[in-house]
Structure 1
Amino acid sequence: MIAVKIDEEAILRECKQRITELLKQVDADLVFWDRNELQKRTCMSWNYIQDNFFFDPRFKKKKVGGKWLFPAKEGRQFLELWLSEQPDC
C-alpha cells in the first residue's frame, strides 16, 4: 500500500506565489491604458477622474488622434502616490 502525505501549507504558499507572479505578468502586458482601462483600474467614473487628478501635471497622458492614452507603469505609480496624499476621512 502507498501512503501519500501532503503539506497543505506548502501547497497553499506555492499557489499564492504563482498567482502573484501571474498577476504581475498580466499587469506588465499592458503598456498603455485607455480611458476605459483607467476607469476599470481605478473603479472611478470619468467625471471623478477629471475632477480629482486628470489635470494634475504629474499624471502622464497623451492624446493620440481622439483617444487618451496613459502609460500603465507611470499611471500606477502616480495613482499610488495620489492615493497616499488623500486625507483620511
Structure 2
Amino acid sequence: MFNISLNEDELKKLYLDEIRKRVDDIENQMALIDTKELCKMLSLSRPTVEKLFIYNPDFPSMRVGKKWLFNRKEVEEYINRWSIDVRKKGGSVD
C-alpha cells in the first residue's frame, strides 16, 4: 500500500512557476511589440521612452500608420548596448 501526501503550498508554487515559464515563452515568441509593451518591457513611462528611444534614428523602430512597432529581439540587443554605454558614461541618464 502506498501513502502519498502533498504539500499544497509547494504544489501551488510549482504550478505558478510553470505558468510563469509558459507566459514568458509566449511573450518571447512575439516578434513585434507596440509602444505600450515597450514601455512595460523597459519599466519606463511613454514620454521617457519617446525621448530616449522612439525618436532616435538608431533605435530599431518602424511606424505603421499611426502606430509604432518594434522588433523585440532588436530592442533587447539595442538596450543591452545602450545600457553598457550609459554605465561607461557614469550611469546617469538625463
TM-score for both structures, normalised by structure 1: 0.66
The separation in 2 between residues aligned to 1:66 and 1:53, in whole angstroms, is 17
The separation in 2 between residues aligned to 1:83 and 1:32, in whole angstroms, is 21
Match of residue 50 from structure 2 = 50
Match of residue 79 from structure 1 = 79
* Shift in alpha-carbon separation, 1:76–1:19, aligned structure 2, 3 A: farther
Matched pairs, number: 82
Once the two structures are superposed, residues 12-42 of structure 1 have per-residue CA deviations (whole angstroms, 9 ceiling, x without a partner) of xxxxxx6896465223221101010000100
* Shift in alpha-carbon separation, 1:50–1:29, aligned structure 2, 3 A: same
* Shift in alpha-carbon separation, 1:78–1:20, aligned structure 2, 3 A: farther
Residues 1:67 and 2:67 aligned together? yes
Match of residue 14 from structure 1 = none
Q: Would you identify which runs of 4 or more consecutive aligned residues in structure 1 move more than 3 Å?
A: 1-4, 18-24
SS at match of 2:60: coil
Match of residue 29 from structure 1 = 29
Superposed CA RMSD in Å reads 2.9
Could you tell me which runs of 5 or more consecutive residues in structure 2 were left unpaired when the two chains were aligned: 5-17
The separation in 1 between residues aligned to 2:24 and 2:81, in whole angstroms, is 19
